[in-house]
Amino acid sequence: MAWTKFFRRSERDDDTAREIASYIAIETDDNIARGMSPQAAHDAAVRKFGNPTKVREEIYWMNTVRPVDTIWQDLKYAARLLKRDKGFAAAAILSLALGIGANTAIFQLLDAVRLRTLPVTDPQELAVIHFPRGSKLSGRFSSRMPFMTSAQVDELRKQRLDDVFSGMFAWSSLQLNTATGGEVRNADTLWVSGETFDVLGVRPAIGRLIAPGDDRPGCGSPPAVLSYAYWQRAFGGSPSALGQTVRLDGTQFDIVGVAAPGFFGVDVGRQFDVAIPLCADALLPSSRGRIESRGNFWLAVVGRLQPGQTVASATDRLIAVSPAIMAASVPDGYTSEGQQHYKDNKLNARAASSGLSDLREQFAQPLFVLLAGTGLVLLIACANLANLLLARATARQREIAIRLAIGASRRRIVGQLLIESVLLALVGTVLGMVVARALTGVLMAQLAAGMGSLFLDLSWNMTVFAFTAAVAGAACLLFGLAPAMQATAVAPVAALRAGGRGISEARGRFGLRKALVVAQVALSLVLLIGALLFGQTLYNVLTIDAGFDQQVIQVELSHPSLQPEDPVQLQIVREDLRQRIAAAPGIADAVLVNNAPLTGNWRNEYVFAEGKPEKALANFSTVGPNYFEALGVPIVKGRSISAADTLNAAPVAVVNETFAKKFFPDREVVGNRIWIEVAEGTPVTKIEVVGISRDAKYGDIREDFDPVVHLPMAQNSDGRLVRILVKPRGRMDGVMATITREVGRVNPAISIEMRVIGQSVRDGLVRERLMAALSAAFGALAGLLAAIGIYGVMSYTVTRRANEIGIRLAMGASRRGVLRLVIVEAVWLVGIGLVIGAALGLGAAKAARSLLFGLQPTDPVTIGAAIALLATIGFIASYLPARRASRVDPMNVLRQE
Amino acid sequence: MLQGALDMLILRSLVIGPAHGHTIAHAIEHGSDRVLQVEHGSLYPALHRLEDRALVASFWGTSENNRKAKYYRLTPAGRKMLAAETSRWEQLVRAIGRVMKPTTD
């Protein structure tokens, strides 16, 4: 068998050598016996034998697989060469590792967020049923995917769409508290209708999953299914978890089973800890009546398409049945106009094979932009490598010429040079995978900080491997092929005649090197423009003036004892808590609020202003009397909300400047009245505007100022959660512990959730931070590579033109003139690169417009700065070789001639 | 030399017993009254090929003048092959002979 021979080939080669030696020895002995001198005897023996090397080679080739052996030889040769040229090898491998690693990391994230299908049975059959963008819906929206209300889902089921969907389920994801008091410990809870696991085709690891019988009105003793990860974490994977209970918001759930490992839910980027039936909403003390209240959007519905059905055919059916569904599910309290809008909405179907994700909307585009960035970095690295390899090939021209002259085939030499590139790419890729691992870790940590929690399966799969291999292969061809072809394209005679000086430099080859530098400069400029635009964006978002002091802790307290029915009692309980916290050491002030700005809690309503027939949307904040003082929001006109604005006093409001401008463009606001739109037949409460406050951000720090109405807490109580804004006196340290202690004194069973508003706002800027950090890294890398490229080519030019420069100097040219001569050439290269790069960069920036904040993609300052920066880099990188050229001693150079 | 003839000569020279490369080379040269002059080196790839085809087997031994040498001997398959080659060779020689010297009966 050829392979056993192959692996023993060197052993057999030694054997052959010994055999040949044995022949020579015996023949020599014979010759000596015939009377020859030892030397003559040996020579005669060798003559008789023929060419030992040739014989040995002939036998060797019989024992080996020729191409494998050739490649192995070339690899070893390439490795030896690279080992000798450590600087080059390190630069090449490092730039490749960074390029390939960055590409792989970003692609891995993109794959996990965007491309991979759900780990369930036949995910391609799944479709999500939803209202398309632009639908007119209003009500209360909770959960991450608040697509439908319970009433809509019930009506949808009544339509019996069995011809289109073989199964259908509704789900929601909300957090529930597993602690029994004190600091909240949230479990990610997956709320599912009974069919969910069945339709998805998920199996239990142990026990059973939630079945249709579990999701029934009233819910009985509700079952809970743990995720495999949570089972491992909380119960150490012990089967005795079955039969135990898990406490969620104070309600006991019986653990009936554990879902199969790998099933994380339908929501990509998240994972669930516990799954419970939808009906459990009625059991929780914190119940929001999500099932009964027809205006509560909290469910997402996914259907499994029947064989032969498509998303389009399902959408057609859904549109056809929508009027009936909508007519039967109108929420209470809508005006007749609102009802009409509601009924006009149409359900659609959309493919859900890769799951649903709120991550995707936010990060798919940034990830594509970053992938383009990493692609550019790799291209620049390849251009750089190609340049370095061209330089090496020039240095090795003599060697190659000699080898061609003594009969090496061009193919073999191209192969050998390519193998060197392959070796670089291989090592670079392996290192790149390490880089990718580290980079995805950093990216995940960044993303997780902004998303609260993040779960993405980043294990290596075939798609990622294929991507990395393709990237590495393409890179290898890009930087390796051209230099290899060029190196062997010279006629050996010309190369040899030119001696070691390499003046045989074909014009084409040098043109290629210059083109590579131009390309490098152009691509680097694109990345630099990106880096500056995204850096400026981050700076702009970080320095937005929110209009209020964000160094404030929002404290959320919940417990049945904090929800008395009587509104007067409710106020007493809340005020007591507020005063205790406000009086604690280290705390400057505490304010009761229903919703604080920039915390994701918002409420908006249609508002009418007196004397103006048309309504408009306005945001609402319900706040305690000291709100404006504590948050540092000045009252610009009229008065603030005061302690005298009680339940029995006349209803009042403080509006912000934007509200005043929008609702009373040319009239006095203070003293005028406004009211909230209500359904026909409901009494209207007219509210007097008593003051105007300075504008402050409300929903998202990136949005413009919206009209906001502030209502007094005492006149607008809503009894579920107690929210208190706490302003620390000086430093934040220890303030949270103080709050926990003070609340615990009132009742240790009260659940507490706290966050610093400013901190969560900054965490929420993860997209901007990610783009800025990564594009800055890419930009810096690109600038460095471009500098190396320019320096390399200019140094080379100078060496090549040493004679010419020497002659010029000898003929009386000034050193400044020589300096100018060289620099002008560099200026041309960099200039052309900058022009091309500016055009490309403008196009790229326009494509990424939606990721920018506070500046235009064509921002002249940014683009000018990028150009100036790269021009400076280019100038320095070419000045050094130019100065070297101008300092040559003409006598020395000419003597070498 | 004719294709395959060298192989046959090597096999033939091993009929009398195991021998090393040097002996085989000289046996062929002397046996042919120095008509067949081969570069002795060219014998070795042929020996290697025969060993690969399991027609000969090799072992290291000591030569007459106390040198280490690789000995070759015929395997049963080699013996069979030699018989076949010999008869094929004889047929060939007869055929060529008839063409070169036609009997004019």
Closest residue in B to A26 (Cα) is: B67
Residue that wins the pLDDT comparison between A247 and A894: A247
- Least Cα distance to B82 among B53, B45, B43 occurs for B53
For residue A703, give every residue at least 6 positions away whose Cβ sits within 8 Å of its Cβ, in sequence order, or none. A697
Q: Give the C-alpha distances (Å, rounded to integers) separating A440 from A106, A263, A365, A632.
A: 7, 22, 17, 40
Identify whether the C-beta of residue A339 lies closer than 8 Å to the C-beta of residue A745: no
Question: Residue A496: what pLDDT?
Answer: 64
Identify whether the C-beta of residue A712 lies closer than 8 Å to the C-beta of residue A703: no
Among A82-86, A470-474, B15-19, the range with the most confident prediction by mean pLDDT is B15-19
Distance in Å, alpha carbon of B20 to nearest chain A alpha carbon: 9
Beta bridge partners of A553: A726, A756
pLDDT, one tens digit per residue, over A346-374 is: 999 998 888 787 777 778 888 888 899 98
DSSP class of residue A251 equals E
- Are B63 and A22 in contact (CB < 8 Å)? yes
A16 touches chain B (CB under 8 A): yes
- Are B40 and A49 in contact (CB < 8 Å)? yes
For residue A665, give every residue at least 6 positions away whose Cβ sits within 8 Å of its Cβ, in sequence order, or none. none
- Label residue A756 left, alpha or beta by phi (over 0 means left) and psi (-120 to 50 means alpha): beta
- Least Cα distance to A378 among A481, A518, A476, A513 occurs for A476
Closest residue in B to A60 (Cα) is: B45
Of all residues in chain A, the percent with pLDDT exceeding 90 is 33
**Residues of chain A with C-beta less than 8 angstroms from the C-beta of B57:** none
**Residues of chain A with C-beta less than 8 angstroms from the C-beta of B65:** 26, 29
- How many CB atoms are closer than 10 A to CB A713? 25
Distance from C-alpha of A509 to C-alpha of A488, rounded to nearest angstrom: 11
**Residues of chain A with C-beta less than 8 angstroms from the C-beta of B69:** 19, 22, 26
pLDDT confidence band for A502 (50 / 70 / 90): very low
A25 touches chain B (CB under 8 A): yes
- Checking if the pLDDT of A468 tops 70, the result is yes
Arithmetic mean of pLDDT over chain A? 86
**Residues of chain B with C-beta less than 8 angstroms from the C-beta of A16:** 44, 48
**Residues of chain A with C-beta less than 8 angstroms from the C-beta of B45:** 55, 58-59, 62
Residue that wins the pLDDT comparison between A545 and A508: A545
Among all chains, which residue has been given the structure tokens 């490598």?
A385
- Side chain identity at A741, as an amino acid letter? R
Sign of the CA dihedral with A621 first, then A624, A627, and A630 last: negative
Task: Say which of B41, B45, B69 has its CB closest to residue A22.
Answer: B69
Question: Rounded to the nearest 5°, which phi and psi values hold at A695?
Answer: -60, 140
Pairing of strands A296-305, A126-130: antiparallel
- Least Cα distance to A49 among A68, A67, A76, A31 occurs for A31
Judged by CB atoms within 8 Å, which residues 37-66 of A form the interface with B?
Answer: 48-52, 54-55, 58-59, 62
Distance from C-alpha of A208 to C-alpha of A802, rounded to nearest angstrom: 83
DSSP class of residue A113 equals I
A14 touches chain B (CB under 8 A): no
Question: Residue A637: what pLDDT?
Answer: 93
Chain B residues with CB within 8 Å of chain A CB: 20-22, 25, 39-42, 44-45, 48-49, 52, 63, 65, 67-70
Distance from C-alpha of A767 to C-alpha of A852, rounded to nearest angstrom: 10
Question: Residue A320: what pLDDT?
Answer: 93
- Are B68 and A22 in contact (CB < 8 Å)? yes
Among all chains, which residue has been given the structure tokens 């006093």?
A649
Identify whether the C-beta of residue A438 lies closer than 8 Å to the C-beta of residue A458: no
Element (H, E) at A361: helix A358-395
Closest residue in B to A57 (Cα) is: B45
Structure tokens at A558: 């919940």
Structure tokens at A804: 């010419």
**Residues of chain B with C-beta less than 8 angstroms from the C-beta of A55:** 41-42, 44-45
**Residues of chain B with C-beta less than 8 angstroms from the C-beta of A49:** 39-41
For residue A329, give every residue at least 6 positions away whose Cβ sits within 8 Å of its Cβ, in sequence order, or none. A149, A151, A152, A154, A155, A294
pLDDT confidence band for A286 (50 / 70 / 90): low
- Are B63 and A52 in contact (CB < 8 Å)? no
pLDDT, one tens digit per residue, over B10-41 is: 999 999 889 998 889 888 888 888 787 777 88
- Checking if the pLDDT of A494 tops 70, the result is no
Distance from C-alpha of A225 to C-alpha of A15, rounded to nearest angstrom: 70
Helices and strands: H and E segment counts in chain A: 27, 24
**Residues of chain A with C-beta less than 8 angstroms from the C-beta of B68:** 18, 22
Pairing of strands A251-259, A223-226: parallel
- Checking if the pLDDT of A500 tops 50, the result is no
Q: Which of B34, B44, B47 to mutate to test the interface with A (most CBs of A within 10 A)?
A: B44
Identify whether the C-beta of residue A339 lies closer than 8 Å to the C-beta of residue A680: no
**Residues of chain B with C-beta less than 8 angstroms from the C-beta of A25:** 67
Beta bridge partners of A616: A607
- Are B45 and A58 in contact (CB < 8 Å)? yes
Identify whether the C-beta of residue A790 lies closer than 8 Å to the C-beta of residue A826: yes
Distance in Å, alpha carbon of B34 to nearest chain A alpha carbon: 13
Identify whether the C-beta of residue A683 lies closer than 8 Å to the C-beta of residue A671: no
A2 touches chain B (CB under 8 A): no
- Checking if the pLDDT of A520 tops 70, the result is yes
- Are A25 and B67 in contact (CB < 8 Å)? yes
Task: Say which of A26, A48, A54 has its CB closest to residue B67.
Answer: A26
**What is the value of pTM for the model shown?**
0.76
- Are A62 and B52 in contact (CB < 8 Å)? yes
SS3 A271: coil
Identify whether the C-beta of residue A301 lies closer than 8 Å to the C-beta of residue A153: yes
Question: Residue A48: what pLDDT?
Answer: 87
Structure tokens at A96: 């490749």
A22 touches chain B (CB under 8 A): yes
pLDDT confidence band for A208 (50 / 70 / 90): very high
Distance in Å, alpha carbon of A18 to nearest chain B alpha carbon: 8
- Checking if the pLDDT of A413 tops 60, the result is yes
Question: Residue A93: what pLDDT?
Answer: 87
Question: Rounded to the nearest 5°, which phi and psi values hold at A305?
Answer: -70, 140
Task: Say which of B49, B63, B69 has its CB closest to residue A62.
Answer: B49
Question: Residue A492: what pLDDT?
Answer: 66
Distance in Å, alpha carbon of A57 to nearest chain B alpha carbon: 9
- Are A26 and B40 in contact (CB < 8 Å)? no
- Checking if the pLDDT of A169 tops 90, the result is yes
Distance in Å, alpha carbon of A9 to nearest chain B alpha carbon: 13
Question: Residue A588: what pLDDT?
Answer: 93
Structure tokens at A393: 């090939």
Question: Residue A333: what pLDDT?
Answer: 80
Distance in Å, alpha carbon of A14 to nearest chain B alpha carbon: 13
Structure tokens at A762: 């900054």
Q: Give the C-alpha distances (Å, rounded to integers) separating A508 from A164, A235, A803.
A: 64, 70, 21
Closest residue in A to B53 (Cα) is: A1
For residue A159, give every residue at least 6 positions away whose Cβ sits within 8 Å of its Cβ, in sequence order, or none. A321, A324, A325
Distance in Å, alpha carbon of A16 to nearest chain B alpha carbon: 8
**Residues of chain B with C-beta less than 8 angstroms from the C-beta of A26:** 20, 22, 63, 65, 67, 69
Task: Say which of B40, B63, B67 has its CB closest to residue A48.
Answer: B40
Distance from C-alpha of A83 to C-alpha of A90, rounded to nearest angstrom: 10
- Checking if the pLDDT of A507 tops 60, the result is no
Q: How many CA atoms lie within 13 A of A789 on its CB side?
A: 34
- Are A55 and B49 in contact (CB < 8 Å)? no
Size of interface A-B (CB pairs under 8 A): 61
For residue A894, give every residue at least 6 positions away whose Cβ sits within 8 Å of its Cβ, in sequence order, or none. A803, A806, A807, A810
For the domain made up of B5-99, give the CATH fold: Arc Repressor Mutant, subunit A (1.10.10)
Give the domain ranges of chain B. Answer: 5-99
A739 alpha carbon, distance to own chain's centre: 36
Strands, E assignment, A559-603: 587-593
Identify whether the C-beta of residue A806 lies closer than 8 Å to the C-beta of residue A876: no
Identify whether the C-beta of residue A169 lies closer than 8 Å to the C-beta of residue A128: no
Judged by CB atoms within 8 Å, which residues 154-173 of A form the interface with B?
Answer: none
**Average pLDDT estimate for A767-791:** 86
**Average pLDDT estimate for A539-548:** 91
For chain B, report the end-to-end CA distance as a whole number of angstroms: 33
- Checking if the pLDDT of A324 tops 80, the result is yes
- Least Cα distance to A326 among A455, A153, A490, A487 occurs for A153
Distance in Å, alpha carbon of B70 to nearest chain A alpha carbon: 6
Question: Residue A183: what pLDDT?
Answer: 81
Question: Residue A462: what pLDDT?
Answer: 81
Question: Residue A11: what pLDDT?
Answer: 85
- Checking if the pLDDT of A503 tops 50, the result is no
Distance from C-alpha of A408 to C-alpha of A492, rounded to nearest angstrom: 11
Task: Say which of A20, A29, A52 has its CB closest to residue B67.
Answer: A29
- Least Cα distance to A151 among A134, A167, A139 occurs for A139
**Average pLDDT estimate for A144-157:** 90
DSSP class of residue B36 equals S
Identify whether the C-beta of residue A581 lies closer than 8 Å to the C-beta of residue A591: no
pLDDT, one tens digit per residue, over A642-691 is: 989 988 899 999 999 999 999 999 888 999 999 998 887 788 899 999 99
Q: Which of A16, A23, A59 to mutate to test the interface with B (most CBs of B within 10 A)?
A: A23
- Are B45 and A19 in contact (CB < 8 Å)? no
pLDDT, one tens digit per residue, over A92-108 is: 888 888 888 889 988 98
Residue A760 CB-density burial (10 A; 0-12 exposed, 13-18 middle, 19+ buried): middle
- Checking if the pLDDT of A76 tops 60, the result is yes
**Average pLDDT estimate for A447-459:** 74
Question: With DSSP H G I counted as helix, E B as strand and the rest as coil, what are the percentages for chain A, rounded to 5?
Answer: 55, 15, 30
Identify whether the C-beta of residue B30 lies closer than 8 Å to the C-beta of residue B100: no
Task: Say which of A25, A29, A50 has its CB closest to residue B40.
Answer: A50
Beta bridge partners of B18: none
For residue A51, give every residue at least 6 positions away whose Cβ sits within 8 Å of its Cβ, in sequence order, or none. B41
pLDDT, one tens digit per residue, over A133-143 is: 888 888 778 77
pLDDT confidence band for A504 (50 / 70 / 90): very low
